[in-house]
Each structure stands twice: as structure tokens, then as C-alpha cells.
Chains A and B, each alone.
Chain A
Amino acid sequence: MHTAYAYSVSMSIRHGLLALLERGPSHGYQLRAEFDAATGATWPLNVGQVYSTLDRLERDGLVVQDGEPDADGRIAYRITDVGQAELRGWFASPVSAKSAPRDELAIKLALAVTTPGVDVLRVVQTQRTATMTGLQELTRLKTRVHDDVELAWSLVLDSLVFRAEAEIRWLDHCEARVARAAAERRSAAAERPAPAAPPLTTGKAGRR
């Protein structure tokens, strides 16, 4: 259980760093600050975690060092084509209900809204369909349970049902916020001829 959790967390950090590098080359300190900014510090990282993850990403060919170290000896990293393919795969796949930290979903969405070229609404819909399919399976299980003899089991199922429902409501909420933000950007762009790049989302947008 603990190792599965640790594994899942480290996978999310890997993908999180890839998502940040998709915006452009960056070094460890900067990545750490951007990760905290993008995820609202839900998951504070230490610099050691960032560098050891970058090492593993480099070993696996997902990132490469970008030029020489700067005056302070800091090395910038750049995402590779293989890394980009890995990142696209992550955004395209739903978070499993069985994977330990459900916060991976919050983090995935927080990064999706700040990573260029990601269709956030698609990410939301993919997750919603997967969560709904799980909810349908739970509901089918429930119809087979007889409340009088298996009340305890039935209540446990209910708790899973309500949790899945909450996740879907939160996804609906995210979708509405993303759509509204996009509409605001469009109308702002219509007023100003040269729109500034959107700032990093540091607010509550992607959090429960």
C-alpha cells in the first residue's frame, strides 16, 4: 500500500516536471517554484526530489540538459520528443480510482491549464467518462445487495458512490471555470491588440 502510494506520487512528479518543461527549458530551482505555483503548494517538493527526478527523466531519455551550466553552476533541462509523447499520454489517460493519491487528478488539471497545447476540456471529459463508468459499476453492485442482510456493505458502497459523484461535480465545476476563463481571454484579446501571456494559475482554480 505504502509503496504503491510512493510510486504513484513519484510518477506524478515526473509528469508534472515534464508538463512544466513543455513551456520551455528550465532548471531545478525554477521548476520547483513553478510546480508549487501551478499546484497551489498542495504538494510541496524539495529541491532534492526535483533533481533526483530530473536525473531519472534524463536517464530514460525524456529530458536532456540544455546547454552549459550557468554562472551559478545551474543546469537547465529541455523536454525531448520522447518526453513530449509521454506527457501527451499522461494527459490523455484518466486517473485510476485505484491509484492511491487521488490528488494526482487535481495536480493533473492544475498543470493542464498551464501547459501549452493541452486540450483541458478533453482531459476533463476523459476523466469524467472514466469516473462515470466506475460509478455505474458501483451502482450495479449496489442493486445486487440486499439492504436488510448486508447493510454494512451497502453503506460502504454508498460512500464510494458519493465520492465518485463528488469528483464528477468537481470536474463539472472545473470545466465551467475553464470555459469562462477562455471566454474572458477572448473578449480581453478582442479589446487589446497584443494580449499578454496568461499568468500562471496560482489560485484555487484546480483545487478541491
Chain B
Amino acid sequence: MTEAVLRLSGVTREHGQGDVVVQALRGVDLAVLPGELVAVMGPSGSGKSTLLHLAGGLDRPTSGSVVVEGRDLATLTAAQVAAVRRRSVGYVFQDLNLLPSLTAVENVALPLELDGVRGGMARRAAREALDEVGVGALAGRFPDEMSGGQQQRVAIARALVGPRRLLLADEPTGALDSTTGEEVLRVLRARCEAGAAGVLVTHEARHAAWADRVVFLRDGVVVDQSGPAAAAESLLPAGGVG
């Protein structure tokens, strides 16, 4: 059977200590296969960003395991996790995180360059990614010379650039109007159909509906899943596949 690109098993994440401990996630199991796009919905504070941070190796679980492309992140050194992040994971942050001193194309090329791709090649790939989300014409602009929606698309291009196997997007359509938001989802969907695994956090049901599966988070717990693809894989116990 196909191996999941991302597998969370019994993942719990607590913040703080003693009386003020917040359980951001409580025993979450989630597997995302190649070619699959999974949406995560839930009220504010339900643990969506926490889940994405853990999946992207930006944070570590209090208990449970996070496996990306067969590698349990807990067994890796910080440097190895950083390498997985650069090579395998494309991340669109809720607050964009574009570097203000770099142009759009430089922002997008940065992860490739950090990973040792030569300047010219990195820039070519960056331009293609910008074209893909419809902001190729803005390649030379700095973030503060672009609208919120344009910056958002640059952030998405940065997550798509290079051969990423796992795409993690936290509210990527937040600042976009409905047709532009839809274009971005088409791009994300196409990447998944080409073999990547995607996790999309969104408040908008209309956007979540682009996913094969929608997972509903409530107070750090997965309470339900929808979609025709929700049945088989997700009902198997963690570790039962792959």
C-alpha cells in the first residue's frame, strides 16, 4: 500500500505548565497520502496552526509521533529536521513571513538557495512558481509594494517552489477575493494531483471543499471527517498502513 507522506500518530501538544497548561492538541491521528489534499477546519484556538507547525517540523509534540516521508522527526537532529523542512516541506504561514528586504522573486528563491541550488536556477524556478499563482509580473517588487493578496500569492509561490512533497498551508486564501482564492486552490489541487500531499487550514468551507477530505478539529481533537475519501484510510489504526 502507498506510504503516507505525513503521518501523525497520537499527537499531543501542551503549552505552559501546571495550572495554566493548555492542551492545544489531544491524541490526533492523521495520515496524508501522496496525491491527497486534506483540509483542516475548526474554530479559532482549536489547534489548527499547532497541527501544521508539528507537521512541518517547526515544533515538537509533547507525546506521539510525526513522520514525514518515513522519517520520525523525533529521531532526527535539529539540522536534519531543518533539511527535511527545506527539501520536502512547502509552508505557507498564517502571517506570510515574507522578508521585507527581499523582492518577490528573491523571497521565493531563498529556500532553494539555502538548499544549495545555484542562483540562476533558483531564480528561474522562482519565476515559474510566481507565474503559476499569477504574480509573475511582480517579481521585482518588495513586499511593502504589493497588496495583501499579492503578498499572499508570493508566499504561496515560495511554498510551491522546487520539488516539495508535503505542502502545508495555513489560511492561504485569507486576503484573497473569491476568484483569486479559487485560482490558488486550483494550483494547490494540481500540485497534489501531481503527487504531493497537502494540508490546508481554512475557515472557508468553500475552500475546504477543494480537498479530498475535510477534518474537523474541536478543542484539539479530531471530531469528524467528511468526503468520499474519509472512509477507508482514516479508519485504519495508526501504523496499519505503509
Binding site for B on A (CB under 8 A): 125, 128-133, 135-139, 143, 161-162, 164-165, 168-169, 172, 175-176
Contacts and interface: CB of A to CB of B under 8 A. Distances in A.
A179 to B, nearest CB: 9
26 contacts: A125-B216, A125-B223, A125-B224, A128-B224, A129-B226, A130-B226, A131-B205, A132-B214, A132-B227, A133-B227, A135-B205, A136-B209, A136-B214, A136-B228, A138-B209, A139-B209, A139-B210, A161-B206, A161-B209, A164-B209, A165-B205, A168-B205, A169-B205, A172-B43, A175-B43, A176-B43
- Most A CB contacts (10 A, CB to CB) among B205, B224, B225, B228 go to B205
B211 interface: yes
Contacts of A137: 228
Interface residues of B, number: 19
Given A128-B224, A132-B226, 15 more contacts: A125-B216, A129-B216, A129-B226, A130-B226, A133-B227, A133-B228, A135-B209, A136-B209, A136-B212, A139-B209, A139-B210, A143-B189, A165-B205, A172-B43, A175-B43
Contact of B224 (A129, A143, A168): A129
Please name the 3 residue pairs, one residue from A and one from B, whose CB atoms are nearest each other, closest first.
A168-B205, A132-B226, A139-B209
B144 interface: no
B204 A165 contact: yes
B208 interface: yes
B183 to A, nearest CB: 12
Contacts of A168: 205
Nearest to B182: A142
A93 to B, nearest CB: 15
- Most A CB contacts (10 A, CB to CB) among B206, B211, B224 go to B206
Contacts of B43: 172, 175-176
B223 A132 contact: no
B216 A165 contact: no
Contacts of A143: 186, 189
